[in-house]
Chains A and B, each alone.
Chain A
Amino acid sequence: MAAKHHRVGDQPWVRRILVGLALSITVILLVIPLVVIFYQALSAGWSTFTSNVLDEYTLHAIGLTLFVALLTVPLNLVFGTALAWSVTRFRFPGRKLLTTLIDIPFAVSPVVAGLLYLLLYGRNGWVGSWLGQYDIQLMFSWPGIVMVTVFVTSPFVARELIPLMQQQGSEEEEAGVVLGASGWRVFRKITLPNIKWALIYGVILTNARAVGEFGAVSVVSGNIRGQTNTLPLHVELLYQDYNIVGAFASASLLAGIAILTLIAKAFVEWRQSRPEQPAPEKGGV
């Protein structure tokens, strides 16, 4: 029997135990909670679910969450692309340091990030007190929520682009410039098609995190119902109000977004792994 199995770790019992372990952990920690969310949300019937979702404050929370994501994603798209471009295409002192600094939002706890913003931009903070003289309030209102969300999600796009752009090098872009193309034309016709799928992937991750961010947002939002309450914060508020079904209804919305994100992510990964062979552009030569 042993002679039949040459590969390392290919004994049947090792395989069975490992696969079984992985599957049970996945089911216990991931699948069951996900199912429970929807089960609880719908436990009091469909009409209760819809009335919970269509509740005035819930609708406002959904709106604010989408609004924050709508501002965060384009901001980080531009920021991430510019950052990836500068560290992969230029040589300058501090380049290595910058590549490391990109990861700060990953390394630091979101709550700490929220506190930092509060100390800096809050009414008594360095920048906040100065802004206060002009009657500009960033914290405990939506600009603060956008700011911390941008901070927390800033690495996603750059992290996707940097390895890809490093691997692709700049020869194609140089070829474009030699052929007389303007900087904008080089970016639009050469760089962008080459990084398109990585960019979309980065946007999907940014969006997922922007919608789901809790820690940093909870510090700077002030939890004002109907004003600065995002969907994740709303879930917590409802739960604290002992409105379990309502909390789960809102949570099920977030879970739904997460599932959509996973589907989109799988699709983009599949597109990225395919060999480059796009359909011919219409009107091409």
Chain B
Amino acid sequence: MSITIENISKRFGGFTALDNVSLDIPEGKLTALLGPSGSGKTTLLRIIAGLESSDAGRILFGGDDVSDLHVRDRNIGFVFQHYALFKHLTVAQNIAFGLESLPRRQRPPKTEIRERVNKLLEMIQLPDLANRYPTQLSGGQKQRVALARAMATKPRILLLDEPFGALDAKVRKDLRRWLRALHDEFHFTSIFVTHDQEEALELSDQVVVMSHGQVEQVNEPAALYARPESRFVFDFLGHVNVLEGNLKNQKLTQGDAWVSLPSVQGDQEAQLYMRPHEVQLARSPSAHARLPLRIESVSLIGSEVRIELQPEGWHSTELWEIGMSHNEFAHQAPARGDLWYAVPDIGHLFTNGRNQPRTVDWHYPTSATAHP
């Protein structure tokens, strides 16, 4: 069942949590609401669920307006950040709660409820824990039970509020994979809230980036990462290296650093954004860029060596970060304190007053155009 969000606004006292948000959630897809705390993502999820009312706007499920429908009647599954399991009920009783809450005419007989609970326990791979109480479970197990409980009444929409937020890294990864597999099997329309970019990009079919109560960008994960449409999305999705300077005669300069930008007209202040994988390290400057940097630290753990660098003779508010393959690292042997030069392959130029970047590719200069 698709979800349509039309012009939703919500204020809490003087704070605007959601500012005229409109959004389409496609049927059968796993959508991530991604944003920093205070961006309104949880409020939006709670409004979709009906746990919170909106000041303005409509929510439609599959074309039907449900804005005035009580939570109880929306038939959604909701997974809470802190699980919200019923402490005094067993795992099985927790899972059966939704089925037993159905009106008498729709309620399945006791034997069928028991069967359904057993099936769900199999699905969450915890068949032996039926008679345990929530306090006797680990965090990961609790979250699985919360999921089974939410799915027991076969809702067509599943909403998850920071589902893995309270779990440690290892369990989180397992559970993420498991949720993805589950989703691929059952194909309900799901929305989950997260502030973890990696989680959003890895798990979802579509990412909605939010900030200050507004939708910044909606896209598939790969496209979102490759083509951020605003400074905010750029900053929020992974690390970014920035050269901030003056643009003059197709050259961006700050202190000892400069980058030539063929085909870019106009004299003004500008910022060039580069992802760690869009920049390489060299012993000497290249023809199109001179970006001297001193190595601050080298991190060897991971599939790539991650090198942090401090600008030399120019400024950057944050350290630069550049990746290097282990093979190359063994050859080049960069060490802490060395002076190296960054050579960009691709950059994204923000000129003052514009929120949309234009992409510059030095290998294929002809394709250097702004994105539509």
Residues of chain A having any CB pair with chain B under 8 Å:
171-172, 174-182, 185, 189-190, 193-194, 275-278, 280-281, 284-285
| B187, CB-defined interface residue at 8 Å | no
Interface centre among A171, A174, A178, A281, by most chain B C-beta atoms within 10 angstroms, is: A178
Known: A176-B97, A277-B135. A284 touches B90 (CB 8 A): yes
Known: A193-B88, A276-B135. A285 touches B80 (CB 8 A): no
Interface code B78-100, partner A: CB below 8 Å = 1, 0 otherwise?
Answer: 10101011111010110011100
| B72, CB-defined interface residue at 8 Å | yes
10 new A-B contacts at CB < 8 Å, known A171-B80, A171-B84, A284-B90: A172-B87, A174-B71, A175-B78, A177-B72, A178-B77, A179-B153, A180-B102, A189-B97, A190-B86, A285-B93
Contact status B51-A180, CB under 8 Å: no
Contact status B72-A180, CB under 8 Å: yes
Cα(A275)–Cα(B88), bound, Å: 11
| B117, CB-defined interface residue at 8 Å | yes
B-chain residues with CB within 8 Å of residue A193 when the two chains form the complex: 87-88
Known: A174-B84, A177-B71, A276-B135. A182 touches B101 (CB 8 A): yes
| B76, CB-defined interface residue at 8 Å | yes
Select B92's contact among A175, A190, A194, A285, beta carbons within 8 Å. Answer: A285
A-chain residues with CB within 8 Å of residue B49 when the two chains form the complex: 178
Contact status A178-B71, CB under 8 Å: yes
Cα(A185)–Cα(B100), bound, Å: 10
Contact status B135-A285, CB under 8 Å: no
| B297, CB-defined interface residue at 8 Å | no
Contact status B87-A276, CB under 8 Å: yes
Cα(A275)–Cα(B102), bound, Å: 31
14 CB-based A-B contacts, threshold 8 Å: A171-B82, A172-B85, A174-B51, A177-B71, A178-B49, A179-B150, A180-B72, A180-B102, A181-B97, A181-B101, A189-B97, A275-B135, A284-B90, A284-B93
Whole-angstrom distance from the CB of B325 to the nearest CB of chain A? 46
| B306, CB-defined interface residue at 8 Å | no
| B355, CB-defined interface residue at 8 Å | no
Cα(A165)–Cα(B135), bound, Å: 18
Interface code B110-144, partner A: CB below 8 Å = 1, 0 otherwise?
Answer: 10011001000000000000010101100000000
Whole-angstrom distance from the CB of A28 to the nearest CB of chain B? 44
B-chain residues with CB within 8 Å of residue A179 when the two chains form the complex: 97-98, 101, 149-150, 152-153
Contact status A181-B72, CB under 8 Å: yes
Chain B residue with Cβ nearest A175: B84
A-chain residues with CB within 8 Å of residue B149 when the two chains form the complex: 175, 179
Chain B residue with Cβ nearest A179: B98
Whole-angstrom distance from the CB of B331 to the nearest CB of chain A? 55
B-chain residues with CB within 8 Å of residue A172 when the two chains form the complex: 84-87
Contact status B86-A175, CB under 8 Å: yes
A-chain residues with CB within 8 Å of residue B135 when the two chains form the complex: 275-277
A-chain residues with CB within 8 Å of residue B72 when the two chains form the complex: 177-178, 180-182
B-chain residues with CB within 8 Å of residue A182 when the two chains form the complex: 72, 101
Cα(A181)–Cα(B78), bound, Å: 14
Cα(A171)–Cα(B161), bound, Å: 12
Cα(A230)–Cα(B213), bound, Å: 63
A-chain residues with CB within 8 Å of residue B114 when the two chains form the complex: 285
Contact status A180-B92, CB under 8 Å: no
Contact status B153-A285, CB under 8 Å: no
Select A178's contact among B76, B86, B90, B117, beta carbons within 8 Å. Answer: B76
A-chain residues with CB within 8 Å of residue B133 when the two chains form the complex: 276-278
A-chain residues with CB within 8 Å of residue B150 when the two chains form the complex: 178-179
Cα(A175)–Cα(B78), bound, Å: 7
B-chain residues with CB within 8 Å of residue A275 when the two chains form the complex: 135
Whole-angstrom distance from the CB of A242 to the nearest CB of chain B? 56
Known: A180-B153, A181-B97, A181-B101. A276 touches B88 (CB 8 A): yes
Cα(A177)–Cα(B84), bound, Å: 12
B-chain residues with CB within 8 Å of residue A178 when the two chains form the complex: 49, 51, 71-72, 76-78, 150
Contact status B86-A185, CB under 8 Å: no
Whole-angstrom distance from the CB of B52 to the nearest CB of chain A? 10
Chain A residue with Cβ nearest B70: A177
Cα(A80)–Cα(B71), bound, Å: 28
Chain B residue with Cβ nearest A196: B88
Cα(A181)–Cα(B99), bound, Å: 9
Select B117's contact among A180, A194, A281, A285, beta carbons within 8 Å. Answer: A285
B-chain residues with CB within 8 Å of residue A175 when the two chains form the complex: 78, 80, 84-86, 149
Cα(A175)–Cα(B83), bound, Å: 9
